[in-house]
Amino acid sequence: MIERHHPTLVERTTRFTLLLHLPPMAGHGTDLREKNGPALAGHGAEAVRDAIASSISELPNPLRRSLAWDQGAEMARHADLKILTGLPVYFCDPHSPWQRGTNGNTNGLLRQYFPKGTDLGKHSSDDLDAVAVALNARPRKTLGWRTPAEALDELMMKAHDRDVATTG
């Protein structure tokens, strides 16, 4: 299962992290804010849907089982995302942090690179990729001091071995 933390996807078993670059919507911040207008962060549900769909399509099938999401308007296009990717989307209940198990930890790690309140849209996709590489190369106690990249490699090898065993 993948958990979402805007704009972050984290694979729960391995803690492998993808940071999604969401550029601001055209015209964001240049006009007066209209009531019930575009999202305050300047990222429409379509941009979030497209960024997730693009990132998910690059992941191996064993990692694409489901997506757990916080309540939020940025997922207004979740039905489209399910159609595009085949990925079931589950919404966490409000005030239920245990449903977002890796959220607090990953956000804490991200704050070492980006202080709370940082607009990640001002950082390039290369900046975000560099932070994701650093996070995925960082040993984690919960993984027996393996890195998320090592845990992901191991998970993929096991999945490959199962596929070979069942088709041979």
Dist CA 90 CA 75 (whole Å): 11
Average of pLDDT values for 63-81? 80
Q: What is the pLDDT of residue 1?
A: 47
User: Is the pLDDT confidence value at 94 over 90?
Assistant: no
pLDDT band at 113 (very low <50, low <70, confident <90, very high): very high
Spatial CB neighbours of 141, under 8 Å, sequence gap ≥ 6: none
CATH of 2-167 given 3.40.1440.10, 3.40.50.300, 3.20.20.80, 3.30.420.10: 3.30.420.10
Check residue 55 and give left, alpha or beta (phi > 0: left; psi -120 to 50: alpha). Answer: alpha
User: Is the pLDDT confidence value at 146 over 60?
Assistant: yes
User: Is the pLDDT confidence value at 134 over 90?
Assistant: yes
Cis peptide before 94 (omega within 30 of 0): no
149-168 residue pLDDT tens: 999 999 988 877 776 655 55
Domain regions of the chain by residue span: 2-167
Lowest mean pLDDT among 32-36, 93-97, 112-116: 32-36
pLDDT band at 126 (very low <50, low <70, confident <90, very high): very high
Dist CA 57 CA 55 (whole Å): 5
pLDDT band at 132 (very low <50, low <70, confident <90, very high): very high
